[in-house]
């Protein structure tokens, strides 16, 4: 409780000095915590010495914090924060705490409250640990499923690679077989073409020989015909010459005969 009062005094000084780092929400949280601690202390005192508190302090109505005998800096902080009148809990708890009454019981109550907070923190930690354990178990299950799926995919890819290798080998074998068949077919075709060309060449050669024979015979016939033509020409020339001589002789004879008449 003294620590709370010291912290409250520090925040009040910051508010009075206009410090930029002053956080009103911190002051509000501190007042709430102060009220809670005051209630706890009052509850502890109520159980132990409910009848020992001064009647005047309990029954006398308190209209302001000035009547409670607080320090000036604490009063300034309270009024600057906006509080005007103490609550019923503050009326019954603050004065005994400040006056030092039953500090042992107040300390026990504070320790109990602190232990309760620690216990709640531990409980929250345990709950978080339980949630994390559940999350870890779920993550583990998820990872196991992913590992199984990846293993299945790996096996599937391996089978696909094996299948692709087999298909590739079969395709290569088929290509080699086709190449061999094409080579054998090409060889047969080339052999057949060679035979046909050889036959054509032999036929052409025989035809050439025949043509040469025919040409030779034609040349012989032409030479015979030319010799005959020369002989006939010579004979014709002789016959023409004889005819011309006969005609010339006849003309001369006629001229001789007709000369006396003329």
pLDDT, tens digit (0-9, with 9 covering 90-100), for 36-57: 666 666 666 666 555 444 444 4
Residue 49: helix, strand or coil by DSSP? coil
Is residue 243 predicted with pLDDT exceeding 80?
no
Is residue 58 predicted with pLDDT exceeding 50?
no
Residue 140 — very low, low, confident or very high, per pLDDT cuts 50/70/90? confident
Report the b/e string of 51-60 with b at 16+ CB within 10 A: eebeeeeeee
Q: Where are the domains of the chain?
A: 2-101, 118-199
What per-residue confidence (pLDDT) applies to 59?
46
Integer CA distances (angstroms), 141 to 81, 118, 129, 150, in order: 55, 34, 18, 14
Q: What is the pLDDT of residues 81-123, one digit of tens each?
A: 777 777 776 666 666 656 555 556 666 667 777 777 777 787 7
Per the listing, tokens 């042992």 go with: 104
Lowest-pLDDT range of 34-38, 64-68, 216-220 = 34-38
Going by the DSSP 8-state scheme, the letter that residue 65 receives in this structure is: G
- Tokens representing 261 are 């008449």
Q: Mean pLDDT over residues 134-140, rounded?
A: 81
Is residue 251 predicted with pLDDT exceeding 80?
no
- Tokens representing 34 are 């102060």
Burial class (CB in 10 A: 0-12, 13-18, 19+), 101: middle
User: pLDDT > 90: what percent of the chain?
Assistant: 0
């Amino acid at each position: 409780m003294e620590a709370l009062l010291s912290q409250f005094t520090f925040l009040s000084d910051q508010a009075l000095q206009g410090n930029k780092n002053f956080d009103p929400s911190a002051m509000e949280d501190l007042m709430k915590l102060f009220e809670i601690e005051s209630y706890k202390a009052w509850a502890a005192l109520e159980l132990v010495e409910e009848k020992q508190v001064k009647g005047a302090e309990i029954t006398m109505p308190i209209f302001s914090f000035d009547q409670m005998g607080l320090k000036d800096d604490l009063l300034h902080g309270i009024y600057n924060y906006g509080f005007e009148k103490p609550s019923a809990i503050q009326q019954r708890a603050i004065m005994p705490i400040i006056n030092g009454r039953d500090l042992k019981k107040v300390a026990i109550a504070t320790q109990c409250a602190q232990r309760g907070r620690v216990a709640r923190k531990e409980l929250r930690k345990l709950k978080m640990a339980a949630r994390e354990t559940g999350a870890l178990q779920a993550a583990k299950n998820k990872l196991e499923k992913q590992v199984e799926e990846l293993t299945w995919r790996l096996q599937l890819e391996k089978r696909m690679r094996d299948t692709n290798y087999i298909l590739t080998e079969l395709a290569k074998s088929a290509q080699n077989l086709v190449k061999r068949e094409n080579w054998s077919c090409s060889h047969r075709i080339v052999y057949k073409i060679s035979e046909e060309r050889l036959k054509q060449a032999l036929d052409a050669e025989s035809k050439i020989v025949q043509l040469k024979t025919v040409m030779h015979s034609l040349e012989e016939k032409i030479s015979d015909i030319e010799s005959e033509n020369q002989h006939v020409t010579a004979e014709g020339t002789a016959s023409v010459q004889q005819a011309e001589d006969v005609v010339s002789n006849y003309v001369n004879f006629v001229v001789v005969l007709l000369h006396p008449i003329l």
